[in-house]
Structure 1
C-alpha cells in the first residue's frame, strides 16, 4: 500500500468514527489502529529496501560511468600522444635536414648563419683557454665519462683547458686534466648556482664553459668557438636533443614559458641562457654570480641571465658550437620543449597520466 492510499484510509476511518450521530466503537477503533500501524511499518520497511535498491543501482551506474570515463580518457590521451608524435616526426624531417646540412645548404644560397653581432665589452685577465665546469649529483657517472671524453676529443693543448667537477664526485674517473670539488649537500639540495659559483671562482682560464653532466660536445665544438676570436661576453650555440630536435638553445622567456627563436633572430633581453650549457668570459664573474640559494626548478639560470643582461652583457650565438643534451626524455614540440615522464615517475595515485610536460623555467618576481 502506498503512503497516499494509507493516509486516505486513515481519513475515511476518522470520518466514520467521528461522523455526526455515530456511536464510537473504541475496541473496533483500537484494532484498526493496530492494523494500520502494522501496514505503516511494512510501508517503511519496503521504502527503505526500495531506497537501498536505488542506491545500489546508482552506485553500479557510477562505477560503470567511471570505467567508461577512464576508457575515454585513455583513448583521448592516445590520440593526443599520436598527435605529438606526428608533430615530432614532422619536426624531425625538418630538423634532420636543417641541423645536419644547415650550414652547407645555407652557404649555397649565400645565407649562412653567422655568429650574432654581440661582441665583448671588456678584456680578459686570465690566460687564454677553456675551463669546463661540470656539476653533478653523482647519479650519472657514465654520462660524465662520455662528456669528459667529448672534451678531450677537441684536441686542445694540455695547457689550454681543464675540467672542473663539483657536487657528488665520489666514483668519478679523473685524470691529470681534472679537478673535483666535493659539494654533496649542495647537490642533494639542488643548489645548482652554488656549485657553478665554486667552479667559476676556481677556473684557471678566461673562458668558463658551464655544463650539466648530461651534455656532449660536437667534435668540432672548440674550433667553432675559436673562430670568433673571443669576441663575446657570453655565448651559446645549437643544443640538440638525442632525436636531433632542438633543446633550449636560442630562446625567449615570455610569461614563464620558453619559446624557441629562429636562429637568424638577433639577441634581445627577453632571452635567457639555460644553465646546462653556456660560455662565460672571466670578467663576468668579477661582479656577477649565480644565486647560491636557489634549488631545483627555481630559475637560477633565468635569474642569472636577467642580471647579466641588465648589467649590459650581450649574448652571442655561435651556431657551430653544437652540443647535445644527452637525455632521451626531452623533445621539441613546435616552438617549445617537452619532457616525457619516465615510467617510474608515474605513481599509483595517478593511473591515467599524460607523460609529458611543457618545459617551463620559473622566472623570479
Structure 2
C-alpha cells in the first residue's frame, strides 16, 4: 500500500494543504516548529487507525476537519486499485476516551506503522519470555505509536526459538536481519549472545561485551526504530509468511533525528531504505543532515506565510541535496534566512556603518569583536580586513 496524495483541510493548525505526487519510497517533511509536520503523520495514522484518543483534531474555530488520502494497493487480499480514504474530525478538546472507528478496514490498518517521538529503551529484567499476541487484534491502535516495552522479550524469544530450530522461514529471516542491525548502524559493533539471565549482549569496538541497554541513547533510539519495525511487521503478518524486507506498507517516523549525532542523522534514512526497500516512509525532521541525504523528490518543505501553511517550491538537482552544504540546506530548503546570532549581526552592522562613514576607529573596534567571533578559517575575514585597511591609518 502506498499513498499517492494527501489533503488536510482545517486540521490542527492547517487551514488547507494538498500534497500531490508523493514519493513512493521516502518523504522527508521539514519546516519550522508548529508548521504541521507531526499533524501530517498523525493524520495518516488516524486515517487507518481503528482506535484513537483524539490525537488529531479539527482546527480551532471551525465546524469540522477533513482528511483525504489517495491510496494505491497491490495486495491480493485487498485488490490492486486506487482508493480514496476519508475521515472527518468533529472534536477539538482533548479526550481520555478511546473511540472506535468501525469504517476502517483492518487490513489497511496493518499496512501502517507509526513511531512517535517517545523512543527509549529502559532496562528490563525479564523473568520469562512472553508469547506472541493474537494477529487479529495487533496493530489496530497504530496512532498511539510503537512501544518498546516488549521489544527485548521478542528478540530473546526469537533467539531461543532459532537455537531450537523452531522458527518458520519468515521468522528466521526476520531474526537474522534483526541480529545484523547493530553492525548495520556501526560496523564496529555486533550482536554477541543472549545470557541465561535473559540479557542481550553486544560486542563493542573496545572488545567489551555489554548489555544492549548500555549503548548510547542514539544507538538505542536507532535500534528501536529498526528492530521495532521488524517486530511490528512480523507480529501483524504472522499468517502471511511475510519477511520484513518484503513489507510494502507505510512507515511514519516523527523527528527521526531524536538522540542521534549528526553523523548518524546523515545515514539513518539510507539504512531504513536498505532494510525496508519496499516500504513508503513519511519522516519529519528539523535536521539539515537528514535532508542532505535526500534524493530528488524526497523532501517536502513546509512554510507558514501570513498564517497559511503551504508547501515550498524547492530547487532540485538530479542528485537531490547530496552535494549541498548544511548552510545551503538551512537557507534554501528549510527556510532559515538568518544563520548567525543577533549579537553578530549587530556588530556587523556597526562595522558596515563605520565603513560608510569612513570612521576608522569605530570600524576597528567592530572588526576586533568580529575577529574574535568568527571561525578561524572564515573566508570573509580577509575581505573584512581589506575593507578596514581601505580607511587608512
TM-score range, shorter-chain basis?
under 0.3
Considering fraction of residues, name the structure with more helix. Answer: 1
Larger radius of gyration: 1
TM-score, length-normalised on structure 2?
0.22
